[in-house]
Amino acid sequence: MRNVNDTLRSLTSFTGPFSEFHPEDVPGNPTELFIEWLYEAIEKRIQEPHAMTLSTVDKHGVPDARTLILKNVTRNKWFFATSCKSQKGKQLELNPRVALTFYWSELGRQVRIRGIASVTNKKLSDKDFLERSVNARAIALIGRQSEELIDQNELDDVFIEKQEIVKRDPLIVAPYWHLYSVFAEDVEFFQGNTHRKNVRVKYERKGEQWASKLLWP
């Protein structure tokens, strides 16, 4: 049996070097700082810099979380797309309060967003769907995300069937595929530091305005 504890202790974190983060220079709106950090992550060729954790709660108040792809960011809003029939879709219908978490390890940066998720509209949802690859559309068209899969062969057969449908009718959309926006209520930026004097800046929305403060690391 491997000694997992020893192995984990031998691993390093916050090795850096990381950029200096000057909290006194942050913009008034967290969206601006997020976009700045996102582009730095893209320019540094971090793998899947647009992958994030979406946390929800189920009907019993039990937390749930999974990775999703960020689809857009506009002023105070972060976007993702999924099936409203999935587990998370059902959870969102009952409780739209969510958290989004980004971690860009090579930059030592984490961003945490909390807010309210809502379905955008059919036009934007369909647009998102049609921009997906043929395979991604075929999988979404099956429409059984998060249901129990009893027989792998059933998936193989229906996948081929849906691929053919998408190729035959490239404008077909899945009506349950939704683009959601998360209207942010607070956003925290964390810049790791090799000496562990990590810098944390938290923004809180006050109506149309944002207030920011420093947090102890």
Interface stretch with ligand FMN, choices 60-68, 104-112, 113-121, 163-171 (CB under 6 A): 60-68
Does 95 participate in binding ligand FMN (rule CB under 6 A)?
Answer: no
Q: Using the rule CB under 6 A, which residue among 33, 76, 88, 137 binds ligand FMN? A: 88
Does 94 participate in binding ligand FMN (rule CB under 6 A)?
Answer: no
Q: Using the rule CB under 6 A, which residue among 26, 27, 58, 87 binds ligand FMN? A: 87
Question: Considering beta carbons, is residue 51 or 116 the nearer one to ligand FMN?
Answer: 51
Contacts with ligand FMN in 29-48 (CB under 6 A)? 48
- The closest of 139, 137, 129 to 159, measured between CA atoms, is 139
Q: Using the rule CB under 6 A, which residue among 95, 101, 105, 146 binds ligand FMN? A: 146
- Measured from the Cβ of residue 38, the count of other Cβ atoms closer than 10 Å reads 19
Token pair listed for 38: 């996102």
Does 131 participate in binding ligand FMN (rule CB under 6 A)?
Answer: no
Residues 6+ apart with CB under 8 A from 3: none
Q: Using the rule CB under 6 A, which residue among 23, 66, 72, 127 binds ligand FMN? A: 66
Token pair listed for 16: 């850096």
CA distances from 93 to 90, 118, 140 (A): 5, 9, 19
Q: What residues form DSSP beta bridges with 60?
A: none
Does 68 participate in binding ligand FMN (rule CB under 6 A)?
Answer: yes
Tell me the number of residues near ligand FMN by CB under 6 A: 15
Does 145 participate in binding ligand FMN (rule CB under 6 A)?
Answer: yes
130 and 136 in contact (C-beta within 8 Å)?
no
- Grouping H, G, I as helix, E, B as strand and the rest as coil, residue 204 is strand
172 and 141 in contact (C-beta within 8 Å)?
yes
Q: Which residues bind ligand FMN (CB under 6 A)?
A: 48, 51, 64, 66-69, 80-82, 86-88, 145-146
